[in-house]
Amino acid sequence: MTELYFADKKVEETYNKLRYSSVNKQLYKFIKRALEDIKENPECGIAISKKLIPKIYIKKYSINNLFKYDLPSGWRLFYSLEEGKIEIMAIIIEWMNHKDYEKRFGYKVR
């Protein structure tokens, strides 16, 4: 069984606030569905090449793998996997729109 954790308290609080937001309620539903999918199959996302993992993620979270889960409307959710003694832990790092995704990963922004 896969356990889900948020990378930090701020990410978790932001997710919880989405539930009650009239503007972002749909995004909350997209992320909730993604979390359910990740819990069922931790490798359901797209593995990001190690050389493309943003250095900020490596420095801040000490990760050595990264997965991208495509959400509707151009949003992306990023998570890392860590194996424990009995379980796999999926660590939810952040989600962002397509423009911020291109910026974070160093792609040309139009």
What fold does the segment set 2-37+56-104 form as a domain? YaeB-like fold (3.30.2310)
Q: What is the pTM for the complete model shown? A: 0.86
Q: Give residue 21's pLDDT.
A: 86
8 Å CB contact between 88 and 4: no
Displacement of CA 82 from its chain's centroid (Å): 14
CA 25/CA 42 separation, integer angstroms: 24
Cα separations (Å) of 62 from 35, 67, 109? Answer: 21, 15, 27
Q: Give residue 44's pLDDT.
A: 95
Q: Give residue 33's pLDDT.
A: 96
Q: Give residue 43's pLDDT.
A: 92
Confidence grade of residue 110 (pLDDT, cut at 50, 70, 90): low
Confidence grade of residue 22 (pLDDT, cut at 50, 70, 90): confident
CA 100/CA 89 separation, integer angstroms: 26
| pLDDT above 70: residue 62 | yes
Lowest model confidence (mean pLDDT) among 54-58, 64-68, 71-75, 102-106:
102-106
